[in-house]
Structure 1
Amino acid sequence: MVSQVEAPSLTSTQPLTHRIEGLVQVFTCPHRSFFTNVMAQALRIAGQGAPVLVVQFLKGGIAQGYDHPVQLGQNLDWVRCNLPRCIDTPLLDEEEADALKGLWLYTQEVVLSGKYDLVVLDELSLAINFGLLSETEVLAFLSQRPRHVDIILTGPEMPRSLLDVADQITELRRSHQP
């Protein structure tokens, strides 16, 4: 048996690297506060050298906003909504609604630019279920993202339409065993 491997030359029109198509992953749970597993995955990917963005739509209280990201290491940017509090209700004042819309627009812009390989959209399902973000816009965003970008969506009661486009769904539940 004889095999031959042909390596592309530097003058070849074929790309030297092949990017794998990104996945849409959903992590859902009937309750909030299960972010540890997702954050561990984001830190692991960033530690391997890939640029990662973590966006927390409903967490506030630290006057952060997208223009003041927390940088963990060289490859992980973490942004929260510029809100005076954490959101647990669909009732927002005008300033809070504007901050959330601004964060959503920023998120779309940087993801569509291809700057990140992994993007975590934390508590996205709650933002949709509260009527703060449009489910239709989120679906359009997912379909328009650069093909190499992995997206992780988190939150309880994930809308069926998002589950339908997901490549992987992880449902976390508490064990009832003593």
Structure 2
Amino acid sequence: MNARVSINAQQRGSSPSKEASLRPTHIRKPLQLVATQGQVQIHTSTFRGSFSVVLSEAIRSAGLGSQVLIAQFLRGGVNQGPNGAINLCGRLEWLRPAIETCLQEKILEEHLSLKRKYEEKAIKELWEFCKSRLIEKKIDKIVLDEIGIAISLGFIEENDLIFMINNRPSSTDIILTGPSIPPKVIEMADQITELRCN
């Protein structure tokens, strides 16, 4: 429409000042990208089983170009630990503690021994690795599987998790899964998904 007005003004022999007055006076500013805001998401249930939904979301994010870290605190395996990460999609790093078995929700009598100290050391080592990766600002999404049970068993301090959430890079998503998520952590969540068994 502006082009037509300009041609008509020239055909009528109007002066350049009239033509200039017909142009828009405001200048559009270039679009600016808004920084992404990370979320705290909780996937919880009264039973173990919320991980599969989170895993598919993590794989999808990695496939779309995000750097993702998954830490399963109570699921051990052979050749695991921070140095034995499994890499998927080129952008997803999957970690488990350097213990050979999965830990139970309740502490058994035999776990109050040297084996228990070994498990605690392996889980704390994994936790420290997760915190260091957040400080490096190289991950877009971190999944902390069964973090609530790890806290209730005394492997990880609740205040340490709260500090981590509050001091993460602002664009990083944190996903917490499993039962026993502490109430103070639940209050910090942007989204809560609860699985129920009927």
Q: Output the TM-score relative to the length of structure 2.
A: 0.79
Query: Of the two, which has the highest radius of gyration?
Result: 2
Stretches (4+) displaced over 6 A = none
Select the residue among 23, 40, 44 that pairs with 2:56: 40
Asked if 1:173 is matched to 2:189, the reply is no
SS at match of 1:22: coil
Q: Which of 47, 50, 71 is the aligned partner of 1:55?
A: 71
* Cross-structure match for 2:143: 120
User: Number of paired residues?
Assistant: 167
Matched position secondary structure for 2:56: helix
In the alignment, the residues of structure 2 paired with residue 154 and residue 4 of structure 1 have an alpha-carbon distance, to the nearest angstrom, of: 49
Among 69, 84, 91, the alignment partner of 2:85 is 69
In 1: Cα distance, 2:28 partner to 2:192 partner: 38
Aligned to 1:102: 125
Query: Structure 1: how far apart are the matches of 2:59 and 2:157?
Result: 29
> Is the partner of 1:151 in helix, strand or coil?
strand
Counterpart CA distance in 1 for 2:94 and 2:62 is 12
Q: Which residue in 1 is equivalent to 2:178?
A: 155
In the alignment, structure 2 segments of 5+ residues that lack a partner are 1-23
Q: Note if 1:82 corresponds to 2:98.
A: yes
Question: Letter of the aligned partner of 1:81 in structure 2?
Answer: P
**Deviation readout 1:108-165 (Å, 9 max, x if unpaired):** 0001211110000000011011111100111011111111100000111211011011
- CA distance in 1: counterparts of 2:124 and 2:38, whole angstroms: 25
Counterpart in 2 of 1:11? none
- Return the structure number with greater helix share: 2
Aligned-residue RMSD, C-alpha? 1.6
SS in structure 2 of the partner of residue 119 of structure 1: strand
Offset of residue 4 of structure 1: 4.8
Paired residues of 2:98 and 2:122 also in contact (CA < 8 A): yes
**C-alpha separation in 2, matches of 1:67 and 1:21:** 30
Paired AA for residue 73 in structure 1: C
Normalised to the residue count of structure 1, the TM-score between the two structures is: 0.88
Where structure 1 has 5 or more consecutive residues not aligned to the other structure, the ranges are 9-15
The one-letter amino acid paired with 1:165 is M
